[in-house]
Structure 1
Amino acid sequence: MVVQVHVLSTESIELSPTLVVSTDKERFIFNVGDGIQRLCMEHRIRLSKLRHLFLTQLSVKSVGGLPGMILTISDTCEKEAVHVYGPPMTQKYMHATRHFLSRPNMSIKTTEIGSCTPAGGKRQIVYKGEVIIHAIPMHCKSKRKHCEISNAGPSEKIEQGFMWQASNVAISYVIETPPQRGKFLVDRAIALGVPKGRMFGQLHQGKSVELSNGQIVHSHDCVSPSLPGAVCLLISCPTFDYIDELVSWEGWNIFQNGEKVVAEEKRNVRVIYHLAEENILSDARYVKWLQKFGDDVDHVILNHFACPNMSVFRASTQLQSQLHAEFPLLIPSNDYERKSIESGEEWTTWMQASNWQRFRSVILGESLLQYTLSPVSQRGFHRGNCLQLIQKPEIPDSGISNPKLDISIPRIIFLGTGCAIPSKFRNVSGIYLLLHGIDAQCGGLLLDCGEGSLGQLYRAVGGNHPMLAQVVSQLQCIWISHNHADHHLGILRILCQRSHVGYNEPLLIIGPTQIRYWLEEYCQIDRSIQSSYRFVDNRVFNPNDSNFDPNHNTRRETLRFLYEKLSLASFLTVPVKHAHLSYAVVFQYAGSLTIDSKEANNQIHKIAYSGDCRPSVDLVSAATDAYLFIHEATFDDTLEKEAKDKSHSTFSEAIQVARNARARHVILTHFSQRYPTMSVSNSDAISILAAFDLLTLPLGELRQDHLLETCRKFLE
């Protein structure tokens, strides 16, 4: 039996560390952060055998991609249950996803681990099949804090102290292969008088046989000793507060070298994957503990400054590189990409300072790195599938030297232009608008926020960490059109990143009621985003639903905020035909389209965004004379019936809606993933553009007729 461990991803802005263990018949995944679904699709990592998902923590980085992953694998396992294993309140997390994840024919089972650390070194077996998986929960030793939920709503409240259990348990896992049966010694069996045939098989299976003369032959007489199974450890140690309990747990003894270990109980650890930051890895307690596992262990570090800094989405990155060479001001550079720096001075200095140089084998994790645990003959690392740097085309001399995104100019950035699920070239919905507030300072408005939006924003700023921190901090509002997962699963990672860069002002989120309930329940599980947002319902801005906010206080206060931060003179939501409580949005931007707020073009510009919908007369009315109309165009014109059945629009329908509204510019988005590129023409006064991921347009320069033909050339 072949047992392999695959590193899907390491720590980065785009992704979080994720491992997959594969056997002949099964797949097991450990942590499912943002973007893993897209990674698996592009790199053809089969999910058909995936039924068991393990979490090391209940945090944004561990579960950000879990709902999307479950939606994807649900199509292949209607008759089989999907099992999710994680810390206390994992079941509550899965229950909270009911607000947007509905698969009535799919059974999801949860196993919660870690209400207490196993006493006496006893390990908890959570799965036993082709491999044995043990869970070892550890608890944060910092002072317990009982926090009240400030924005708790109609979802049920939790008992004091439960939040501590959820956010302060880190689970490490032991993956153990069965012993490898010894070799059957044919010559010895024949010498003992065993006839060829059935008895050979019985002896090899460990059974004793009786010969015709009455002699008993035992398995050990003609089978070499079994080789012990191999062990892989996934160690999760998020902060210093976990170290003491981790290193003192008695259950590690059978995996370590020492006098306390009985030879028959010894387990051979072959590889350890470390989920810990470099300051924890270099802690003297942690290093001393690792030494006890012996010199034959391979160590793989999954989150370290020296790990590769490369987007795992190579097809999109290749296209980005080609288009940047043609349009350096409209498509960001990916020059930030680099391989690991194992030979670099910083890495060498860290290895010496942290005492890691004493370990025989220390590997920097990278995407698609593979380790074979079994069979013994194949054991070791395999790098054949690891990502390679893309050969960058030469950029014609245009007088522009390494252009960077100018975030002082109002502009629109398309983070995701595909529908339903991500593909090689298109992420799911997300549009970032950089606008000027009334004080001429830039602010951000995010229209929909699908899974992976933060990673796309990182690529959009050219991998520049300070600039990413700036645009994340400048983000003033996220507007969500409707409750489908591909439009909002990126919210949590955005909130987490704002906290990470030290920006603590609550982020305004406007959306459907179900999003409010989902966020409230998630806050009860993961306190890290508590008080990081304030929610306003879409219905507040629908003039035909005045009963929802009878005193108009919320509407007035929010409009004042949007005007001050984003120069939005009005903000209107329009009900559209799609899912329950689906809306389009129309707002008037009163700021400048250029750097100079005093220029003549400092006037009202109406911008409309359809969300997902069928063509809408009400939207046409609200968007009349729009400067920019962004409309979904999920299907081409040959699939009009499918568009109607699924409440989407075709290309021609979207363009006609914009024409009816007398829009000056129309940009199409939300394309079915079956279309890598679009074919539209500018045959009349209206400017028509089909968006693609990472396209960055100044709001004052939206007509870019030449873009589409060039993009199409690279995709053919």
Structure 2
Amino acid sequence: MSAWNVSVLTGATSDTEPTLLVNFGTAKYIFNASEGMGRAWLQSQHSVRKTKGLFVTAAGTHRCGGVPGLLMLCADAAVPAIDIVGPYGLMHYLATMRGYTYRSNMVVKAIEAPTALVHASQPTDVPTPVFKDENLSVYSIPLYPSADGTVVGDPSARPLKRKRSPSPPSVSKRSTPPLIDHTVESTSPVSPAVSAHAQEENFNPTTLIGQDAQEWRKLMLQEMFPMQPAPKADPSMSKGAKRRAKEVQESADSPPPSNNRKYPPDRKYARLPGLVPGGGVDPATLPTIGYLCVGPAVRGKFDVKKAEELGVPRGPIRGRLTKGEAVTFEVDDGQGGKIQRTVQPEECVGPTEAPQAVLILDVPTPAHIPSLLASFTESPFFAKYRSKAADVRKEYPMHAVYHLCGEGVLEDERYKEFMNGFSEETHHLISSREYTPDKITFTRSALVQAKLHQLDAEMFPIPKYNLSPSKDITSVAGLPAKAILAEPNTLVHVRPVRPPVQDELAREDEFNPLAVSASLPELSDSVMEKFAAVKAKAAERMGRGSPATAPGDDVVITPLGTGSAIPTRMRNVSSTLIQIPGHGNILLDCGEGTWGQLVRSFGDTEDGVWQVMRDLKCIFLSHMHGDHHMGLSKILTMRAKMDPPPSEPLYVVGLRSHLMYLLERQELEDHGLADPNGIIMILSDALNWRFPRPYGKNQTEDEPFMNHNLSYEHAEAMCRALGLRSFTTVDVAHRIRCYGVVIRHNDGWGIAFSGDTMPTENLVKVGRDVTLLIHESSMSPEEEDLAREKAHSTSAQAIDIGRRMRAKNLLLTHFSARYPGMPPRHGDSSGGPIIGIAFDFARIRMGAMWKLNAYLPAIQHTFNEFGEEEPIEIDLTKLQ
């Protein structure tokens, strides 16, 4: 019960940010959930079933990008409740998820920690923890940047202008937002005044300020997690019918009507109140939070021999002694009589073992160091955990400190002095992007790509990685003796106390040992034979003379995520990059982890991912299901930090809910919405092939992007920039409002993209004679009924759409997690388009689709040798 440890789940890599897991066996506590964390969790051997708490050190994509995915994993693992703790801005961040996150039978309590350090009035006082249960007491330490060397921590702090970062980016300067001086919990009753305002006919939530604004955000969270038990199934139904009914109910477009709703239903989609009235504070000024985690006190060992000498009877009396109670009992007086004896616990129970502690610090810039130092000098409570005095350390032992360091922090003499202020027995685990090698995180996917690389090096490039950090940590003089890098799978046993080790239970690394040896994976004889056969056929075709070059042959399609609903070890969630030489790039959907997939595809260099970003001119978002857009914030925040800034704007084409979401997220982190050549929003409804679909009366705030004429003008400018003749959205058949798109270029080629859909004649009509159809293929041909229930397509249905559309090529993607490896057979393709199957990181020239088709037997043979992974049945749409 009292044994516990801390493991590093993910590190500072291209795919992920640091995530720590505190494990008590009976309960788990997660610290930070950045993009890619959920996928890394699925790759690990850990289970989410006993998760009780999530603690984030900052309210933004950098630390919270994986929160929706984590909630999905917990909900589908039957976790009944979870607490989410973070700094000011956390409630706003969670409320921005209301359009795509919902779960009726899991309790989520959001807690915002105080934004000012609570100083003890007496040296012996202990501050109130932001979280406490039988295992952990967690205390928060707010960290603010300094202005001109002075610690800033009050509402009068002036905002600092955002500083652009060279690409690759560095961390920008920060200052402080206004403070809310008390802990805010989302499950407390909503203010009656706010509930009354919400019923007013012309009420607009953006007019709320201060605590009333917080109350509205709280109301949104209670709408997302209304704590309603799931309806009971009819006991007479078969197991299969119960399962299908449950899937249909949980994947509904919106939550069922709530009897407790305190506002008209459409108010949910009104824009959130701003964090600061008038938007006067830079979002980069929000604080980060450090966490002091104190484990349980452990009773001393019971001395059985001493108890026997004192005559303490066996049974409940001894149990009371171990609980710290004095006991009185009768003993023989030696003369045949009885006398009473009282025994104090300390007479036969050893001294209580002081609870071990772990400190987690997120220090993004050197400007945050003065605030950190002040926290440990001005608070007697925190100062005790940083003491070198033996008697103090005995009572307040600090076993390990985790340092999440931004650029320039670790080298700062003040920070090194702070680190050395702890006892020599304290272990220091450092996560710093500058000093951490950029190893592959998702090793199974990279191993597959390395095998296929030997089939076609151009079509299947090996994901980019770097085994050597930009700086060697040994070059930093003056670090504590027990300082190491916090690399993934580093395990620290806090009780019993042990030094850091590599977790022996971690899943085997399938790729990085190959990278270290600079070798490719060995292929079996049968795979080599299959590779040789398909290569010979391809060479024979080329030998007969290459087909005449057709318009669009040089357009490159790079699938960045080919999975459905949730990621797997093999596949990330939805995103596809289209590169049009001489014109620019288009991103079709942008699921969580898209940024990491881009970096792995092109490398973290100026002529790699940063050039791709400079050429990115359009992001199209098909619908609000999270697996299709949760990576957008990360892409935009990275773009906003580029130095020099982009020379052309980026057009984001989406639904009103997407565009409103961006405005709300801009409150927390800079998305570049107001920058020259920043983000231009286009309402996808305005580009509908027939006529714009209407929105509800409470979903039409006076926002510029709701002007259809203005959106159409922006779309014309976007088409000119990309050399397009038209960019047409097509309403398709999904559970919620969803669009496909048909792109036609001035050179005569065209691409149709289905989004998520059942077979629909709309796409056939608008996409007639396109060069390439990219169509979802969630299910196998035998699962047509299940596909209909989930509003998706089978592979056979996608092929039929391509055939009737007269598409020249068809790329199948969006494969269900039910098929974690090679997707199922795709049915009869005779007389139809050339068919290819999308794989993450494949780089497919549109003119070489025939080659991808020819490779399919060899690819199938390669996957067969991996064996089948355990299929994953959960579905992200259960959250909506």
TM-score by length of 1: 0.89
Q: How many angstroms apart in 2 are the aligned matches of 1:25 and 1:518?
A: 37
User: Are residues 1:214 and 2:340 paired?
Assistant: yes
AA of the residue aligned to 1:381: V
User: Are residues 1:155 and 2:260 paired?
Assistant: no
AA of the residue aligned to 1:68: G
Aligned equivalent of 1:243, options 369, 373, 376: 369
AA of the residue aligned to 2:90: T
Which residue of the partner structure matches residue 127 of structure 1? 131
- TM-superposed deviation, 1:529: 4.6
Count of residues in Structure 1 that have an aligned counterpart in Structure 2: 676
Asked if the contact 2:653/2:681 (under 8 Å) is kept, the reply is yes
Q: 1:335 to 1:611 in 2, by over 3 A?
A: closer
Q: 1:4 to 1:287 in 2, by over 3 A?
A: same
Aligned equivalent of 1:628, options 755, 769, 772: 772
Q: 1:216 to 1:43 in 2, by over 3 A?
A: same
User: Are residues 1:446 and 2:602 paired?
Assistant: no
Q: 1:446 to 1:141 in 2, by over 3 A?
A: same
Which residue of the partner structure matches residue 258 of structure 2? none
Which residue of the partner structure matches residue 324 of structure 1? 453
Q: 1:541 to 1:256 in 2, by over 3 A?
A: same
Which residue of the partner structure matches residue 759 of structure 2? 615
Asked if the contact 2:12/2:433 (under 8 Å) is kept, the reply is yes
Q: How many angstroms apart in 1 are the aligned matches of 2:860 and 2:513?
A: 20
Asked if the contact 1:332/1:459 (under 8 Å) is kept, the reply is no
Aligned equivalent of 1:702, options 828, 849, 852: 849
Which stretch of structure 1 is more off in the superposition, 233-242 or 447-456?
A: 233-242
Aligned equivalent of 2:622, options 481, 491, 499: 481
Spell out the pairing of 1:286-297 with structure 2 (5 A cutoff).
286-297=415-426
Q: How many angstroms apart in 2 are the aligned matches of 1:266 and 1:506?
A: 58
SS in 2 for 1:454: helix
Spell out the pairing of 1:279-318 with structure 2 (5 A cutoff).
279-318=408-447
User: Are residues 1:542 and 2:688 paired?
Assistant: yes
User: Are residues 1:179 and 2:322 paired?
Assistant: no
Aligned equivalent of 1:366, options 483, 487, 502: 487
Asked if the contact 1:628/1:664 (under 8 Å) is kept, the reply is yes
Which residue of the partner structure matches residue 61 of structure 1? 62
Q: 1:467 to 1:208 in 2, by over 3 A?
A: same
Q: 1:410 to 1:108 in 2, by over 3 A?
A: same
Which residue of the partner structure matches residue 417 of structure 1? 562
Asked if the contact 1:273/1:299 (under 8 Å) is kept, the reply is yes
SS in 2 for 1:434: strand
Asked if the contact 1:430/1:447 (under 8 Å) is kept, the reply is yes
- Cα deviations by residue, 1:379-416 (Å, 9 ceiling, x for unpaired): 64344237642432269999xxxxxxxxx953000001
User: Are residues 1:692 and 2:839 paired?
Assistant: yes
- TM-superposed deviation, 1:253: 1.1
Which residue of the partner structure matches residue 307 of structure 2? 189
Q: How many angstroms apart in 1 are the aligned matches of 2:569 and 2:399?
A: 35
Q: 1:557 to 1:188 in 2, by over 3 A?
A: closer
- Cα deviations by residue, 1:62-87 (Å, 9 ceiling, x for unpaired): 11111121122123447x33221111
TM-score by length of 2: 0.73
Q: How many angstroms apart in 2 are the aligned matches of 1:687 and 1:432?
A: 20
Q: 1:486 to 1:232 in 2, by over 3 A?
A: same
Aligned equivalent of 2:351, options 205, 217, 225: 225
SS in 2 for 1:189: helix
Q: 1:178 to 1:553 in 2, by over 3 A?
A: closer
AA of the residue aligned to 1:705: N
Which stretch of structure 1 is more off in the superposition, 207-216 or 578-587?
A: 207-216
Which residue of the partner structure matches residue 87 of structure 1? 87
- TM-superposed deviation, 1:3: 0.9
Q: 1:700 to 1:347 in 2, by over 3 A?
A: same
AA of the residue aligned to 2:404: L
Asked if the contact 2:329/2:340 (under 8 Å) is kept, the reply is yes
- TM-superposed deviation, 1:431: 0.3
User: Are residues 1:655 and 2:776 paired?
Assistant: no
AA of the residue aligned to 2:630: L
- Cα deviations by residue, 1:269-300 (Å, 9 ceiling, x for unpaired): 11110011251112111111222112111111
Aligned equivalent of 1:199, options 312, 317, 320: 317
Asked if the contact 2:806/2:832 (under 8 Å) is kept, the reply is no
SS in 1 for 2:848: coil
Which residue of the partner structure matches residue 461 of structure 1? 602
Which residue of the partner structure matches residue 271 of structure 1? 400
Q: 1:200 to 1:694 in 2, by over 3 A?
A: same
Q: 1:452 to 1:164 in 2, by over 3 A?
A: same
AA of the residue aligned to 2:67: L
Gaps of 5+ in 2: 148-156, 163-205, 207-268, 331-338, 515-519, 536-552, 695-705, 865-880
- TM-superposed deviation, 1:694: 1.1
User: Are residues 1:256 and 2:386 paired?
Assistant: yes
- Cα deviations by residue, 1:240-294 (Å, 9 ceiling, x for unpaired): 22111111222331112267x9749941111110011251112111111222112
Which stretch of structure 1 is more off in the superposition, 165-174 or 386-395?
A: 386-395
Q: How many angstroms apart in 1 are the aligned matches of 2:693 and 2:829?
A: 43
AA of the residue aligned to 2:327: V
Percent identity, aligned pairs only?
28
Q: How many angstroms apart in 2 are the aligned matches of 1:114 and 1:470?
A: 41
Which residue of the partner structure matches residue 729 of structure 2? 573
- TM-superposed deviation, 1:546: 5.2
- TM-superposed deviation, 1:560: 2.6
User: Are residues 1:672 and 2:816 paired?
Assistant: yes
Q: How many angstroms apart in 2 are the aligned matches of 1:556 and 1:517?
A: 20
Asked if the contact 1:124/1:136 (under 8 Å) is kept, the reply is no
Q: 1:118 to 1:227 in 2, by over 3 A?
A: same
Q: How many angstroms apart in 2 are the aligned matches of 1:712 and 1:491?
A: 32
Aligned equivalent of 1:138, options 139, 143, 156: 143
Q: How many angstroms apart in 1 are the aligned matches of 2:557 and 2:88?
A: 41
Q: 1:363 to 1:112 in 2, by over 3 A?
A: same
Q: How many angstroms apart in 2 are the aligned matches of 1:617 and 1:569?
A: 23
Q: How many angstroms apart in 1 are the aligned matches of 2:280 and 2:82?
A: 25
TM-align CA RMSD? 2.7
Which residue of the partner structure matches residue 562 of structure 1? 719
- Cα deviations by residue, 1:669-695 (Å, 9 ceiling, x for unpaired): 111111221324653352011111111
Asked if the contact 2:13/2:441 (under 8 Å) is kept, the reply is no
SS in 2 for 1:539: helix
Q: How many angstroms apart in 2 are the aligned matches of 1:417 and 1:92?
A: 31
SS in 2 for 1:702: helix
Asked if the contact 1:373/1:380 (under 8 Å) is kept, the reply is no
Asked if the contact 2:117/2:142 (under 8 Å) is kept, the reply is yes
AA of the residue aligned to 1:558: A
Q: How many angstroms apart in 2 are the aligned matches of 1:304 and 1:297?
A: 23
AA of the residue aligned to 1:188: K
- Cα deviations by residue, 1:611-661 (Å, 9 ceiling, x for unpaired): 011111121011111110111111111111111112111111100000001
SS in 1 for 2:791: coil
Which residue of the partner structure matches residue 234 of structure 1? 360
User: Are residues 1:644 and 2:801 paired?
Assistant: no
Which residue of the partner structure matches residue 496 of structure 1? 637
- Cα deviations by residue, 1:3-45 (Å, 9 ceiling, x for unpaired): 1111111112211111111112211111111011111112132
Asked if the contact 1:88/1:165 (under 8 Å) is kept, the reply is no
SS in 1 for 2:361: strand
Which residue of the partner structure matches residue 401 of structure 1? none
Asked if the contact 2:283/2:669 (under 8 Å) is kept, the reply is no
- TM-superposed deviation, 1:234: 0.2
SS in 2 for 1:710: helix
Q: How many angstroms apart in 2 are the aligned matches of 1:688 and 1:636?
A: 15
- TM-superposed deviation, 1:108: 2.2
